[in-house]
Amino acid sequence: MQTSNFTYVIKQVEMALRPHFLAVCKQANLTPAQYTALSVLERRPGLTSSELARRSLVRAQTMAATIEPLLAEGLVRREQDPAHGRRMLLHLTPLGVERLAEIAPRIRAVEDLIVAELDAESRENFARYLRSARHSLDSAGPRPSGRPRPTD
Protein backbone atom coordinates (compact mmCIF):
# COMPACT_ATOMS: atom_id res chain seq x y z
CA MET A 1 0.00 0.00 0.00
CA GLN A 2 1.13 3.48 -0.77
CA THR A 3 0.33 6.07 1.89
CA SER A 4 -2.19 7.40 -0.65
CA ASN A 5 -4.58 4.49 -0.24
CA PHE A 6 -6.28 5.30 3.03
CA THR A 7 -9.83 5.20 1.65
CA TYR A 8 -9.38 1.61 0.59
CA VAL A 9 -7.52 0.37 3.66
CA ILE A 10 -9.87 2.06 6.15
CA LYS A 11 -12.73 0.24 4.44
CA GLN A 12 -10.77 -3.01 4.62
CA VAL A 13 -10.11 -2.57 8.33
CA GLU A 14 -13.75 -1.79 9.00
CA MET A 15 -14.76 -4.92 7.06
CA ALA A 16 -12.16 -7.05 8.84
CA LEU A 17 -13.38 -5.75 12.19
CA ARG A 18 -17.07 -6.29 11.46
CA PRO A 19 -17.31 -10.09 11.92
CA HIS A 20 -15.44 -9.90 15.22
CA PHE A 21 -17.74 -7.19 16.54
CA LEU A 22 -20.84 -8.94 15.19
CA ALA A 23 -19.83 -12.18 16.88
CA VAL A 24 -19.53 -10.44 20.26
CA CYS A 25 -22.90 -8.72 19.80
CA LYS A 26 -24.59 -11.91 18.67
CA GLN A 27 -23.26 -13.85 21.63
CA ALA A 28 -24.71 -11.10 23.88
CA ASN A 29 -28.03 -11.27 22.02
CA LEU A 30 -27.74 -7.61 20.98
CA THR A 31 -27.61 -5.91 17.60
CA PRO A 32 -24.47 -3.85 16.96
CA ALA A 33 -26.57 -0.67 17.31
CA GLN A 34 -27.94 -1.89 20.64
CA TYR A 35 -24.50 -2.71 22.00
CA THR A 36 -23.25 0.69 20.82
CA ALA A 37 -26.24 2.44 22.42
CA LEU A 38 -25.60 0.71 25.74
CA SER A 39 -21.91 1.53 25.68
CA VAL A 40 -22.62 5.17 24.79
CA LEU A 41 -25.11 5.42 27.67
CA GLU A 42 -22.51 3.97 30.00
CA ARG A 43 -20.09 6.77 29.08
CA ARG A 44 -22.78 9.45 28.86
CA PRO A 45 -25.82 8.83 31.03
CA GLY A 46 -28.90 10.97 30.50
CA LEU A 47 -28.92 11.45 26.74
CA THR A 48 -32.09 12.06 24.78
CA SER A 49 -33.04 9.51 22.15
CA SER A 50 -31.86 11.77 19.33
CA GLU A 51 -28.54 12.49 21.05
CA LEU A 52 -28.09 8.77 21.60
CA ALA A 53 -28.89 8.08 17.93
CA ARG A 54 -26.21 10.48 16.78
CA ARG A 55 -23.61 8.95 19.06
CA SER A 56 -24.70 5.41 18.26
CA LEU A 57 -24.13 6.06 14.56
CA VAL A 58 -27.74 5.40 13.60
CA ARG A 59 -30.47 7.66 12.27
CA ALA A 60 -32.80 9.28 14.77
CA GLN A 61 -35.74 7.58 13.04
CA THR A 62 -34.32 4.09 13.65
CA MET A 63 -33.32 4.72 17.26
CA ALA A 64 -36.78 3.80 18.57
CA ALA A 65 -36.54 0.31 17.10
CA THR A 66 -33.07 -0.03 18.61
CA ILE A 67 -33.98 1.14 22.07
CA GLU A 68 -37.42 -0.42 22.57
CA PRO A 69 -36.11 -3.95 23.19
CA LEU A 70 -33.55 -2.53 25.62
CA LEU A 71 -36.33 -0.77 27.54
CA ALA A 72 -38.50 -3.91 27.44
CA GLU A 73 -35.65 -6.05 28.69
CA GLY A 74 -34.94 -3.59 31.49
CA LEU A 75 -31.42 -2.71 30.38
CA VAL A 76 -32.30 0.95 29.79
CA ARG A 77 -34.78 3.23 31.56
CA ARG A 78 -36.36 6.52 30.51
CA GLU A 79 -36.85 9.37 32.92
CA GLN A 80 -38.11 12.92 32.64
CA ASP A 81 -35.48 15.59 32.40
CA PRO A 82 -35.91 17.50 35.70
CA ALA A 83 -35.02 20.71 33.82
CA HIS A 84 -37.41 20.17 30.86
CA GLY A 85 -40.50 18.19 31.75
CA ARG A 86 -41.19 17.01 28.22
CA ARG A 87 -37.69 15.78 27.52
CA MET A 88 -37.06 12.12 28.24
CA LEU A 89 -33.54 11.09 29.16
CA LEU A 90 -32.11 7.61 28.83
CA HIS A 91 -30.05 5.82 31.45
CA LEU A 92 -28.64 2.34 31.91
CA THR A 93 -30.34 0.31 34.62
CA PRO A 94 -28.25 -1.77 37.04
CA LEU A 95 -29.14 -4.73 34.80
CA GLY A 96 -27.81 -2.82 31.79
CA VAL A 97 -24.57 -2.08 33.64
CA GLU A 98 -24.30 -5.74 34.53
CA ARG A 99 -24.90 -6.85 30.95
CA LEU A 100 -22.18 -4.53 29.67
CA ALA A 101 -19.79 -5.84 32.31
CA GLU A 102 -20.47 -9.38 31.11
CA ILE A 103 -19.67 -8.39 27.52
CA ALA A 104 -16.64 -6.27 28.40
CA PRO A 105 -14.01 -9.03 28.29
CA ARG A 106 -15.06 -10.06 24.77
CA ILE A 107 -15.05 -6.45 23.56
CA ARG A 108 -11.64 -6.00 25.18
CA ALA A 109 -10.41 -9.05 23.26
CA VAL A 110 -11.47 -7.43 19.96
CA GLU A 111 -9.83 -4.15 20.97
CA ASP A 112 -6.64 -6.02 21.84
CA LEU A 113 -6.74 -7.86 18.52
CA ILE A 114 -6.93 -4.62 16.51
CA VAL A 115 -3.67 -3.39 18.03
CA ALA A 116 -2.12 -6.79 18.72
CA GLU A 117 1.06 -5.95 16.78
CA LEU A 118 1.49 -2.44 18.18
CA ASP A 119 3.35 -1.25 21.26
CA ALA A 120 1.82 1.18 23.77
CA GLU A 121 3.14 4.30 22.06
CA SER A 122 1.93 3.16 18.65
CA ARG A 123 -1.49 2.41 20.09
CA GLU A 124 -1.75 5.95 21.40
CA ASN A 125 -0.61 7.35 18.08
CA PHE A 126 -3.05 5.15 16.18
CA ALA A 127 -5.93 6.40 18.37
CA ARG A 128 -4.79 9.96 17.77
CA TYR A 129 -4.56 9.51 13.99
CA LEU A 130 -8.03 8.00 13.85
CA ARG A 131 -9.50 10.90 15.83
CA SER A 132 -7.67 13.29 13.53
CA ALA A 133 -9.09 11.60 10.42
CA ARG A 134 -12.59 11.70 11.91
CA HIS A 135 -12.18 15.38 12.68
CA SER A 136 -10.86 16.31 9.22
CA LEU A 137 -13.58 14.35 7.45
CA ASP A 138 -16.37 15.63 9.67
CA SER A 139 -15.20 19.22 9.33
CA ALA A 140 -15.38 19.16 5.53
CA GLY A 141 -18.34 18.65 3.21
CA PRO A 142 -20.04 16.76 1.68
CA ARG A 143 -22.46 15.67 4.37
CA PRO A 144 -25.79 14.23 3.24
CA SER A 145 -28.53 15.71 5.40
CA GLY A 146 -29.91 13.31 7.96
CA ARG A 147 -26.70 11.37 8.29
CA PRO A 148 -25.83 11.11 11.95
CA ARG A 149 -22.75 13.16 12.78
CA PRO A 150 -20.55 10.90 14.82
CA THR A 151 -18.84 12.60 17.71
CA ASP A 152 -17.51 11.59 21.05
Binds a second copy (CB under 8 A): choice among 72, 82, 85, 140: 140
Question: How many residues make contact with a second copy (CB under 8 A)?
Answer: 58
Kindly tell me which of 84 and 134 has the beta carbon lying closer to a second copy: 134
Angle at 144 between CA 142 and CA 145, to 5 degrees: 130
Binds a second copy (CB under 8 A): choice among 85, 100, 136, 146: 136
Q: Mask: binding to a second copy, 75-114, rule CB under 8 A, as x and -? A: --------------------------------xx-xx-xx
Determine, following the binding rule CB under 8 A, whether residue 16 of this chain makes contact with a second copy. Answer: yes
Min dist. Cβ of residue 14 to a second copy (A): 4
Determine, following the binding rule CB under 8 A, whether residue 44 of this chain makes contact with a second copy. Answer: no
Min dist. Cβ of residue 56 to a second copy (A): 10
Determine, following the binding rule CB under 8 A, whether residue 31 of this chain makes contact with a second copy. Answer: no
Distance, CA of 152 to CA of 103 (rounded, Å): 21
Determine, following the binding rule CB under 8 A, whether residue 39 of this chain makes contact with a second copy. Answer: yes
Q: Determine contact, residues 66/37, Cβ cutoff 8 Å.
A: yes
